[in-house]
Amino acid sequence: MDAVHREGGPLITDALSYIFNGDNWSGPQGIGAFAAQQMLLTVTSLVIAAVIGLPVALWLGHQGRFGFLAVNISNVGRAIPVFAVLIVLSVGPVGADEFGPYGRAGMATLIALVLFALPPIITNAYVGIREVDRDILEASRGMGMAEWQIFRNIELPLAMPVVLTGIRLALVQVWATATIAALVAGPGLGRIITRGFDNSRTYEVFAGAVLTAAGALILEGLAVLAERRLDPMRAARQTA
């Protein structure tokens, strides 16, 4: 259900009226449903990327191997146009069929977003482990600690702030990028933007962009709070 557009009214005023109209939040085509769809895409993509990327990056960081690959993969990830990947996947091997709660072209959208989330996760995890003071590690080995003990008790806690930063960056980036799902008739807040374009309602396009940006800011704030709670070294400093 759409807010009434006042002819000649200011764009920002009309967009805010659309956003704060409770009727526009209800129903399967409402803001609430689209926001929930976008959150589902974001969280699922982030979890898959973390499950794939973190173990590999942390292990490579501990071993000190293939550093050029882990660091430069971030640049490669930025160079790949996510929209192009989505189009290729949706018309190619994956297709644009419905994929459960992820909607039309859901599988293609998830794959594209996972590929987009991997670079910051992998790069930060690897760099975080490699930046741990080598003297501390050598002292730990001199005390007879096994490699898995060094990784669990020394490297991982010290690297955790950098690792969590990578996850936070991926979270915000994926949330913002998930709007492209609407370009292949997928779910999410991008549907508000494409619907506004289709119906020549500029205020609705602007409202969709504002909602996406506001969601990114909220997720950024929540992620920062989560980082502070999950950082073991911060907790140790506070209790010291």
DSSP character string of 12-60: HHHHHHHHT-GGGGSSTTSHHHHHHHHHHHHHHHHHHHHHHHHHHHHHH
What is the percent of the chain with per-residue pLDDT over 90, rounded to a whole number? 54
pLDDT of residue 97: 86
pLDDT of residue 10: 85
pLDDT of residue 215: 97
pLDDT of residue 235: 57
Q: What pLDDT digit, counting tens, does each position of 18-35 carry? A: 999 999 999 999 999 999
Tokens of 38: 């976008």
Longest dimension (CA), the chain: 76
Cα three-residue angle 225-230-232, rounded to 5 degrees: 130
Annotated domain spans of the chain? 30-239
Q: Is 231 helix (H, G, I), strand (E, B) or coil?
A: coil
Q: Token match 């160079």: residue? A: 79
CATH of 30-239, one of 3.30.565.10, 3.40.50.80, 1.10.3720.10, 3.30.360.10: 1.10.3720.10
Provide the residue-wise pLDDT of the chain in tens; the chain has 240 residues: 444 444 445 889 999 999 999 999 999 999 999 999 999 999 999 999 999 999 989 988 888 777 777 767 666 666 678 888 888 888 887 878 888 889 888 999 999 999 999 999 999 999 999 999 888 888 988 888 888 888 889 999 999 999 999 999 999 999 999 999 998 888 999 999 999 999 999 999 999 999 999 999 999 999 999 988 887 766 556 655
